[in-house]
Every structure is written in C-alpha cells, then in structure tokens.
Structure 1
Amino acid sequence: MTTWGLVIETTVGSGDHKHIEAYVLAHVTGSRAEALAELERRAWNYSPEHPRSPRRRRLLRDGDGFLLVVDGAWHSFATRFTVAELLADSAAPVVAPEPEEAPGAHRTAPDEPADEPVDEAGETEEAAEEGEGVERYADGVPVRPAWWGRDDLP
C-alpha cells in the first residue's frame, strides 16, 4: 500500500517576520482518494494561529489540495493543504521482521499452564518487568510506583 503525507504550508509570524513554514500533519496508508478525504476533513477543521481575530474564512479546492484564506483586520493569511506520496523517510521507525518458528517447535496450548513463574498479583515476571497490566495515567506514567510496597528497600 502507498503511504501519503498530508502536508500543510502556512503563514506564521507577523509584520516583518511573517513567512511560510511547511509541516507534515499526518501519514495515511491507502489510496490517494482516502488521503484526500482525510486532508479535506483536516482542512475544514483547521484553525490557524493567525489572524487572532479572523473576519472572513474561505476554503478553496485547488487541484488535488485545498487553500484556506483567512482575512484578518489588516492582512490575509493563507494555508495550503497538499497530499504527497511518501518516497523516503530518514526517521521512519524500523520494523523488525517476525522470527520464523522452526518446524516441529512446541507451542503451548491455550489450556496448558504457562511455565513462567507467577507473582502474588497473578502476573508473570516478564509482564511485571515490561509493565504490562499496570494501571497508568493518560501520559503513560504508572499510577503506583514500582517501588511501592517493596520490603527489600530501606
């Protein structure tokens, strides 16, 4: 499947420091039509930083993209939305290939007990080390610290 970048070019700054900057809003994997539909949704909902007090907002379709023009008290500010095919990404996450299982290797049946040691909370040691089954806040920080309740600490 093709990966598409949803690119935004927008006016930032004000006065003599006003200039255009480009950002990649998101990536969409699928067809170009799906990427354009997502881009249009984002263009409709986009709220630019400038102008602070918009007087008029116009969203225009421009070929395979969109142009948002927002008039302020003194100046107009433009934002261009474009779909572009992602050809290369130097900071893309590396996906490790799945290890292949050797023929005849034993798999544990679902009804067989696991051979891993289980602590009093019912978690395996691996799960406890990786933090699985731990209650967390929305930002990923555990609600209860790992050292809480340990009796081997001073």
Structure 2
Amino acid sequence: MSSRPTWVLVVETTQGIGQRKHGVARVLAHVAGSREEALAELERQARGYVPEHPSSPRRRRLLRTGDGFLLVVEGAWQTFASRFTVGELLADSDAPPAPRPQDGEPAQAEPPAEPDEPAEPASDPGEVDEDGVPVRPAWLGRRDLP
C-alpha cells in the first residue's frame, strides 16, 4: 500500500527596502494528499497573505502560474512580489518519527541500525585536569559519529 504524498507549501517573498531588498523563503504548511488538494490550500494561503511590504499597498494582483501563484503588490514607490509554490516532499532532515502502525496493520520490518561502539565508554571520563574536565574529549576516536 502506497502512502499519500506530502506536499510542502512555500512562499518566497521580498523583504527589506531599497538596496537592502532580498528574497526569503518560508514553509507555510504541509499537505498530505493529492497535488490538487495542495494547490487548493496554497491558493487559500496566497489569497489571505499580507506581506510586510509595501506598508501602503495601492494595487494587489494574484496570478496563477504553472506550479503555484505569484502575488504582485504595488506600493507608492516600489513593487514587491511573493511567489507561492507547491512541491512534493522527498526528504526532510528534521522530520518527525514515522507513525506507529495501528492495530490490525502489518508492521514493516526494518533492520535496526547498529552503531559502532565508541572507542571508550562515555561513563569513564579517563584522565581529567585539575578542574575535573576530561583531557581527552569523549567523542574523540568514536567511529559512530560523522
């Protein structure tokens, strides 16, 4: 059984003014489901989005693009843009742990990772200086660390 893809909704917006203008990307939300469901949520987010600049907007235009939306806000002196995109999440270095299977669902067997043993047990600090600080750091020589 294949799980539903997770879509990430991202806004890239202009921050700062004048020569200090720069783009910043921020994740708005995650959507589990179809790409169409993710695009519908992205449109809802784009329609309600209020950018920091310009402080006195004169004109606001929301455009549909191939992968999302583009919000163009004209101010008294400058124009600012916010791009809303949807992308399928393929990897996340800080993802929460996978949910446990519910009763009745077969558990997927994964071999447990076997880390290498540290060169020295962490509980034995070895030689210490006059302040009680280990002379040799506990991580030095460990093969299970990157």
Q: How many residues were matched structurally?
A: 101
Q: Does 2:29 correspond to 1:26? A: yes
AA partner of residue 27 (structure 2): V
Kindly state the Cα deviation for residue 40 of structure 1 after the two structures are TM-superposed: 0.4
Report the counterpart of residue 111 of structure 1 in structure 2.
Answer: none
Report the counterpart of residue 16 of structure 1 in structure 2.
Answer: 19
Among 41, 44, 48, the alignment partner of 1:41 is 44
Q: Does 2:13 correspond to 1:7? A: no
Q: 1-side partners of 2:23 and 2:62: how far apart?
A: 18
AA partner of residue 47 (structure 1): V
Per-residue CA distance 1:30-86 (angstroms, 9 max, x = gap) = 000000000000010000000000000000111121000000011000000001000
Report the counterpart of residue 58 of structure 1 in structure 2.
Answer: 61
1:92-131 matches, within 5 Å, as 92-95=95-98, 97=100
The runs of 4+ residues in structure 1 deviating greater than 2 Å are: 95-100
Q: Does 2:92 correspond to 1:89? A: yes
AA partner of residue 62 (structure 2): L
AA partner of residue 68 (structure 1): L
Distance 1:36 1:98, change over 3 A: closer
Gaps of 5+ in 1: 101-154
- Identity within the alignment, %: 68
- Greater shift, 88-97 or 53-62, is seen at 88-97
Per-residue CA distance 1:70-104 (angstroms, 9 max, x = gap) = 0001100000000100000001111363598xxxx
Alpha-carbon RMSD: 1.7
Gaps of 5+ in 2: 104-146
Report the counterpart of residue 78 of structure 1 in structure 2.
Answer: 81
Q: 2-side partners of 1:59 and 1:33: how far apart?
A: 18
Q: 2-side partners of 1:29 and 1:46: how far apart?
A: 21
